[in-house]
Each structure stands twice: as C-alpha cells, then as structure tokens.
Amino acid sequence: MPDNYYFAPMGWHDLLFRLGIALIVGTIIGLERESKNKPAGLRTNMLVCFGSALLVLVPIEIGAAQQNLDVLGRIIAGIITGIGFIGGGTILRESKVKGLTSAATIWMSCVLGITIGCGLWLLGLGGALVTFIILSVFSKWEDYL
C-alpha cells in the first residue's frame, strides 16, 4: 500500500463516513461542554470538528495532496491558525483571562477533525474518548482536590 493511500480522492461513501465521524466526535465533546454551560458548547465544537475535517478533505479530493503533501500541511497550518483566533476570543472576555479549558477543547475538536479528515478515524475516535474522559472525569477530581 503506498504512503499516500489516505490522500487519494475517494468516493462519496468514504467522504460521508469521515465527515459523519467528525460530526459525531464534535457532538460528543460539545454535549459535554454544553452540559456544564461552558462558553464553547455543542454547536461550536460540532462546527470546529466538522469544518476542520471538511477543509482537510478539499486538497485530498482535488488530488493536490496526492501530488504534493505540502499542500495538506499548509491547509492544516491555516486551520490551526484560525482556531487560535477563536480560542483567543474564548479566553479573553470582559478583560479577564477565563476559559482556558474551553479554548483547549476547541483546539482539540479541531485536531480531531483534522485527524479524522485525513482518514485516521480510529485515532480520532480514540482521541475523542481520551478528551471526553479528561473533560468529565478530571473535572470531578479537580472539584474534589
């Protein structure tokens, strides 16, 4: 199997599968944040995860990623830069630094979307599970300590 197997254009079934997994992952993380009334909740995490996967799929589908992986790297760098802007807006509210975990969660939703969009959906699901555990279990430990 060639190294660029994941980066070859694919059929609609594979596209919808990757985008569906990204949407499910964003939903799971977003529901956890929404249940705690955090600033970045369900819709934010869904859009970030889904949008990241979608943007990664564009160079794959037009064949640019198969010809030159630098194209995919530039897309990923652009996504991460944009998410930094969103995360900064989440943190700096009312002249106070607040919401670092929400910003990190947005960043993680983005990373998971990129991972799933690149075809590494099992890695993305594993990352989503770890993220969910960190957000739900460790917050209880913080309250306890």
Q: Quick check: is 12 in a domain?
A: no
Express each pLDDT in 5-26 by its tens digit: 678 888 999 999 999 999 999 9
Express each pLDDT in 93-104 by its tens digit: 767 778 889 999
Q: Quick check: is 9 in a domain?
A: no
Asked if residue 71 has pLDDT above 80, the reply is: yes
pLDDT score recorded for residue 140: 76
pTM of the model: 0.89
Q: Quick check: is 92 in a domain?
A: yes
Spatial distance between the Cα atoms of 32 and 135, rounded to a whole number of angstroms: 8
CB burial of 55-69 (b: ≥16 within 10 Å; e: otherwise) equals: bbbebbeeebbbeee
pLDDT score recorded for residue 133: 94
Mean of pLDDT over the chain: 90
Domain that holds residue 114: 20-139
Strand partners, 97: 92
Asked if residue 114 has pLDDT above 50, the reply is: yes
Q: Quick check: is 131 in a domain?
A: yes
Q: Quick check: is 7 in a domain?
A: no
Q: Quick check: is 15 in a domain?
A: no
Percentage of the chain modeled with pLDDT above 90: 66
Alpha carbons within 13 angstroms on the beta-carbon side of residue 25 total: 35
Q: Quick check: is 37 in a domain?
A: yes
Asked if residue 4 has pLDDT above 70, the reply is: no
Query: Residue 62: in which H helix or E strand, if any?
Result: none
Amino acid at 124: G
Total tally of structural domains belonging to the chain: 1
Spatial distance between the Cα atoms of 145 and 24, rounded to a whole number of angstroms: 32
68 in helix, strand or coil?
Answer: coil
Quick count: other Cβ atoms within 10 Å of Cβ 19? Answer: 18
Q: Quick check: is 33 in a domain?
A: yes
| DSSP at 5 | G
For residues 17-41, average pLDDT: 94
